[in-house]
Structure 1
Amino acid sequence: PAYGYNYEGGQVVFGIDIFVAQPFDKWEVLSFEQNIRDPVFAWKLTNFSTRYLDSYTSDSFTSGGRNWKLKVYPNGAGSATGNSLSLYLLSASSENGYVQAKLRVIGTTNVEKQVGGLRNTTENGWGYDKFMPLADIQDSSKGFLVNDALKFEVEIVSFSKTDFIN
């Protein structure tokens, strides 16, 4: 034959296995929330120069129907200890997923950095060890420390949401 294989008598043999799959009893639907209700949360850390703990965590806030927290290390975390402020967005629930957000320290000119992706650790979520130099915070001409208080903002841009349907 020109195409394929023939056995004795010019016959071709095929085999088929048929499996009947069990119907799904649960469906998982992944979507992205992009028109976030209450997307911006502001937090002020007072008495900044006299803070002695390694880290401080904001109260829980709701944005887009999900609960979040901000966590700051005034003297840095990890490789940034002693030279940078570290800032993170945390999920206040056990939900994992993708997030896009903007973290800010408010001053004469705000410092803003974007975070995105899956959270890097349960403890610190999304953020930066080296968010901004401590020297910039202490520089009065930059207007970050006002009456010994430092202001933070987070803007939730989008996040993934998983729904399970029975």
Structure 2
Amino acid sequence: MGSRFTNSSSDVFKGRKAPPVHYLLRIQSFSSLSRSSLEKYSSDKFEVGDYKWRLTIYPSGNKDGGGQGHISMFLTLANTSSLPVGWELHAMFNFFVYDQLRDKYFSLPDNQLRRFHVMKTEWGEAKFVELQVFNDSSNGYLIDDACVFGAEVYILKMTRKAECLSALEKPNAGSYTWTIKPFSAVALDRHESQWFVAGGHRWKILIYPRGNGTGKGNSVSTFLSLDESTLPPDTRLVVRFTIRMLDQNELKADPFEFTNDNYFGASCLVWGTQKFVSLANLNDPKQFYLVGDTCVIEAEVTLFGIVSITS
């Protein structure tokens, strides 16, 4: 018949040579155990992931769980009284039975993922293996009235985060115009505007007159920066912003601009472009971005929503 089980989900189990890494339960004289009045046997405590566990076997099946005619296996979380109020944990576990003829440990095809909490400290398989299959010595699970079961347990550490987006019914917009004069006198690598308010938060424009990063030496780099002090803890802003360098030819009035949709938060306070406008275009006398050593930059900021982040 080979290594085949019968249970509620599948009758084909997977086998491997390596024994279970967390616990082994060897039973001598299994028939005596199954004939006794002992409905179940719980192992000694074993530790996995800083928690104490017990492996419980029902040799004639957990009848309350519909396990008649099967061996039932359960994993129990022990010493729960020492855990903090409101505790819960998620664990993946699997049960094994040893095929002594083929030297393999057989288990369910998939690990079981379960949530343990104060109202549910035990999970398992009421129909782990059919007794008719188990008792057939040709299958190797019960040889000379002896058998071996095992368990593996893996704790899922809860590092999940969640967020809640509160979209504004009407986007909140604001703008700011920054006149830089004389532009040639800007000696620092980075030049900053004054703070301005848009969408209820403070912002400023940053420029690198001789470029930054990939724009260094060939472009003006421009960025929008959020004042973190105006940002509540664990929040992000959903923002569309446009930065323009105005063409000062009133007849043409064609600005050079950069638009971006992005999040602004504690880990991302600055967004922009390293290649805003080329130095060649800026200094081209046929262009009107730099007139009388004056440059005019404008920022428009629109707040679409606020994201609250929780762990």
In the alignment, is the contact (CA less than 8 A) between 2:226 and 2:269 conserved in 1? no
> Are positions 1:101 and 2:246 aligned together?
no
- SS of the residue corresponding to residue 147 of structure 1 reads coil
Match of 1:40 in 2: 175
Distance 2:304 2:193 in 1: 20
- SS of the residue corresponding to residue 282 of structure 2 reads helix
Number of residue pairs matched? 155
How many percent identity over aligned positions? Answer: 27
Change (3 A) 1:3 1:83: same
Query: Which one of the candidate residues 132, 153, 166 is aligned to 2:298?
Result: 153
One-letter amino acid of the structure 2 residue matched with residue 103 of structure 1: I
TM-score (normalised: structure 1): 0.75
> Are positions 1:80 and 2:215 aligned together?
yes
Give the aligned CA root-mean-square deviation in angstroms.
3.4
Change (3 A) 1:104 1:9: closer
Change (3 A) 1:89 1:159: farther
Distance 1:152 1:142 in 2: 15
The structure where strand makes up a greater share of residues is 2
Distance 2:61 2:211 in 1: 81
TM-score (normalised: structure 2): 0.43
> Are positions 1:141 and 2:286 aligned together?
yes
In the alignment, is the contact (CA less than 8 A) between 1:32 and 1:158 conserved in 2? no
- SS of the residue corresponding to residue 142 of structure 1 reads coil
Q: Answer with 1 or 2: which has the greater Rg.
A: 2
Change (3 A) 1:9 1:105: closer
> Are positions 1:61 and 2:201 aligned together?
no
Q: Deviations over 1:19-53 (max 9, x none)?
A: 46xxxxxxx7532345214x221111111123211
One-letter amino acid of the structure 1 residue matched with residue 240 of structure 2: Q
In the alignment, is the contact (CA less than 8 A) between 2:227 and 2:269 conserved in 1? no
Match of 2:8 in 1: 4
Q: Deviations over 1:69-120 (max 9, x none)?
A: 1001111112211110000000012436242211111114111111222359
Change (3 A) 1:4 1:123: closer
In the alignment, is the contact (CA less than 8 A) between 1:120 and 1:126 conserved in 2? no
Structure 1: which 5+ runs fail to align? 21-27
Distance 1:130 1:59 in 2: 22
One-letter amino acid of the structure 2 residue matched with residue 47 of structure 1: P
Structure 2: which 5+ runs fail to align? 1-5, 10-58, 75-114, 120-162, 248-252
Distance 1:9 1:47 in 2: 88
Distance 1:160 1:49 in 2: 39
Structure scoring higher RCO (CA < 8 A, sep ≥ 6) equals 1
- SS of the residue corresponding to residue 217 of structure 2 reads coil
Change (3 A) 1:163 1:144: same
One-letter amino acid of the structure 2 residue matched with residue 66 of structure 1: H
Match of 1:129 in 2: 274
Flag as ranges the 4+ runs of structure 1 deviating above 6 A. 120-124
Match of 2:14 in 1: none
Distance 2:165 2:61 in 1: 55
